[in-house]
Copies of this chain bind each other. A is one copy, B any other.
């Protein structure tokens, strides 16, 4: 930003959403970002700060003096604070932890103690609890008296004195009710909740299935620890879909923006599968070498190699993609495999016959009726086989507790290619030597 433009900045900032200011600051160098941040009123400063990327949050904290840094840190909701600490190296996070009270540090460390993909990691610990023997009037007074920074009061949590969750009650119904109604009569049941150690996908599933905005997270003893809200879940849905996409494409999961990722990281994430698949494809080469005599005898067969072999891989990619996604969204369970297998077999054979007919004429034209027969038969077998591999592999992986998305398009294609070569030349050798 040029010097003369600086004067206009405050007026522009006033008209912007805090989220948009954060997006702009994320693109600036650290000094400019801090300078702009300082132009904001304190309340908006805290809000903008909470929307910055973690690395820029750290840069800001580093540049500000301790008093402001403390305020910024304390303004973060517990899940945002955890995310920041997670992203930092130990030598970066230590001075920050010193700014917080021991109670705040304890809360953050407790959340970091849950496994990385667990519901506990996703929750935030700001929530309002009420007692069953209160009236609606008492509840509303209590809510008013709470620090207004509480992230959500849409749902109030009814607990006993030990903190065991008894039920929930919506603030909506409170507002709509007679002030003398006792809370007991307003408990929504049955209760939906997850345990802190449950997988975060379980939390996503519950929120989607029960159409709720906030899901309580409990300890094994039933004590309320925190709340997972629908906006956290929205991010998880997108992240998990991205993860599956990357896996299906044959790259390791990239937890970073593609825009910001360094070339060296991209290289490392991709090279593993590529090299592994090259060595797998040696078997394809070996298959060709084994059938060298057949190939030399009827060189026209090589013409059809890419057609037939790729079709198997393509059909396999299709099945694998359909299955992996259906397993990920819960549309299909791993116990459904037998039912789907029958259906897939039917579809695959129909596809194979269609494709076989499509290349039959081509085979006759290039190499005569015998080659036509070989090509058509090979196509049916290869497409059916490829589809089966694409369908079965995700299920096998799911059964073995691996992520079904490991059955990536490149992996399926390579397996289908190798087997396609063997099937094609086996049929050719059998038919052409009769």
Q: Using a CB–CB distance below 8 Å, which chain A residues touch chain B?
A: 15-17, 19, 140, 143-144, 148, 153-154, 171-173, 175-176, 190, 192, 207-211, 213, 230-231, 233-235, 237-238, 241-242, 244-246, 248-251, 254, 257-259, 263, 266-267, 270-271, 273-275, 277-279, 281-282, 284-286, 288-289, 292, 295-296, 299, 302-307, 309-311, 313-315, 317-318, 320-326, 329, 331-332, 336, 339-340, 343, 346-347, 350-351, 354-355, 358-359, 362, 383, 408-410, 413-414, 417-418, 421
Q: Which 7 pairs, one residue from A and one from B, show the smallest C-beta to C-beta distance?
A: A249-B321, A284-B306, A241-B241, A409-B409, A314-B410, A258-B326, A285-B303
Contacts of A249 in B (CB 8 A): 248, 317-318, 320-322, 409
For A144, A277, A322, which residue has the most chain B Cβ atoms within 10 angstroms?
A: A322
Contacts A237-B234, A263-B350, A304-B285: A246 and B190 contacting too (C-beta < 8 A)?
no
Contacts of A304 in B (CB 8 A): 285
Is B329 within 8 A of A238, CB to CB?
Answer: yes
Is B285 within 8 A of A292, CB to CB?
Answer: no
Cross-interface CB contact of A251 among B176, B286, B322, B324, cutoff 8 Å: B322
Is A172 within 8 A of B154, CB to CB?
Answer: yes
Is A273 within 8 A of B314, CB to CB?
Answer: yes
Copies per complex of this chain: 2
Give CA–CA (A176, B174) in the complex, Å.
13
Contacts A299-B296, A350-B267, A414-B310: A288 and B274 contacting too (C-beta < 8 A)?
no
In the complex, how many angstroms separate the beta carbon of A126 from the nearest chain B beta carbon? Answer: 13
Contacts of A171 in B (CB 8 A): 171-172, 175
In the complex, how many angstroms separate the beta carbon of A400 from the nearest chain B beta carbon? Answer: 21
In the complex, how many angstroms separate the beta carbon of A166 from the nearest chain B beta carbon? Answer: 16
